[in-house]
Amino acid sequence: MMPDLGKYADTVLSAYAASLLLLVALVAFSIWRGRKVRAEMEKVEQRVSRHG
Amino acid sequence: MSIAAKANALWEYANPKKFLATTERMLPFFWVASAICLVVGLVWGFFFTPDDYKQGSTVKIIYLHVPSALMAINCWLMMLATSLVWLVRRHHVSALAARAAAPIGIVMTLIALVTGAIWGQPMWGTWWEWDPRLTSFLILFLFYLGYMALWEAIEDPDTAADLTSVLCLVGSVFALLSRYAVNFWNQGLHQGASVMRAAAVTGTDTEEKVSNIFFYPLLMCIVGFILLFIALVFYRTGTEIRARRIKALLARERVNA
């Protein structure tokens, strides 16, 4: 299944590993922060509406 | 509907509630479509394309390097457009969209620089060369860093939006330079555009261009990167809008206390 990358196997695989790692980290961090901020906003909104 | 009416309808999205409601409906499509395009494009390119006669298997790096470099430049141009909207019309959503896009742009720039260096080592015999295109890309990376740092450094969000917008205008010179540096200076190691060039696509010139065997999976990856960029900008702008609302609510709470 794995294509024969020849003498450049390390080059190609390290480029893919670094890029995919950066992309996954970007998406994961964006979603993590998005959820955190959304939860915090709901908490603050509830507190503000309770106290008028 | 006339063009003027359509343009006016566009400003409705400057309303944070309208923006959030619309983008939340569209987001599932962009997440799924970007994942499909990226998986199909990368699997196609990595597993089902041959080696290049000159570059060997390192040609497979093109599926990450070209789309990320393209998005690094276009992300800054998107930030330029939204910064101009902020400066002219003072719509907060546009300033927040620019802020939300910057981390995406810096990651794209980093991917382009890293994959370029990894490819350059065996092909050019060096990780780095002070070539016009590489250097302007490095400066673009530093502009992204400075832009993000400026947003964090200034307490008042409107002042931060003003100053970052001006920085964005200045940085646009380097965003454009990183695209056209090869044409301006006509020197250095980096080759000219062989993919996103009108004459290369239409086949009306004799310059070197990417073979169709590599071009179609590359096109799929480019579409995937564009869709991922849109999904991330929508999602992260929503986060910035909510973060701004938290600040406003807390400020109101302090005044009422």
Rounded (10°) CA dihedral A22, A24, A30, A35: -150
**Residue whose tokens read 């939300």:** B100
β-pair partners for B52 = B56
The H-assigned helical ranges of B127-205 are 132-153, 157-185, 198-202
ipTM of model over 0.90: yes
B115–A9: do the CB atoms touch at under 8 Å? no
- Please indicate whether, in this complex, the C-beta atoms of B249 and A44 are within 8 angstroms of each other: yes
pLDDT of residue B70: 95
Which of B6-15, B57-66, B67-76, B167-176 has the least mean pLDDT?
A: B6-15
Q: In terms of pLDDT, which residue wins out, B180 or A52? A: B180
C-alpha B69 chain-centroid distance: 8
pLDDT range class, residue B67, cuts 50, 70, 90 = very high
What's the pTM?
A: 0.90
Would you kindly state where each structural domain of chain B is located, as residue ranges? 62-210+229-256
Residue B97 neighbours by CB under 8 Å, 6+ apart: B78, B82, B233, B237, B240
pLDDT confidence of residue B200 = 57
User: What is the model's pLDDT at position A36?
Assistant: 98
Residues 8-27 of A with CB under 8 A from B: 8-9, 11-12, 14-16, 18-19, 22-23, 25-27
- pLDDT of B101 higher than 70: yes
Q: Among B182, B180, B144, B181, which residue's Cα sits nearest to residue B164?
A: B144
Q: What are the tens digits of pLDDT across the range B102-153?
A: 999 999 999 999 999 999 999 999 999 988 888 889 999 999 999 999 999 9
* Interface mutation target, options A2, A12, A31, A38, chain B, most CBs of B under 10 Å: A12
The answer to whether B168 and B76 are in contact (CB under 8 A) is: yes
Q: Which of A12-16, B31-35, B203-207 has the lowest mean pLDDT?
A: B203-207
What's the pLDDT score for residue B136? 87
Residue B191, classified by CB atoms within 10 Å of its CB into exposed (0-12), middle (13-18) or buried (19+), is exposed
CA distance A21 to B49: 23
pLDDT of residue B186: 61
Say which residues have a Cβ less than 8 Å from residue B212's Cβ, sequence separation at least 6. Answer: none
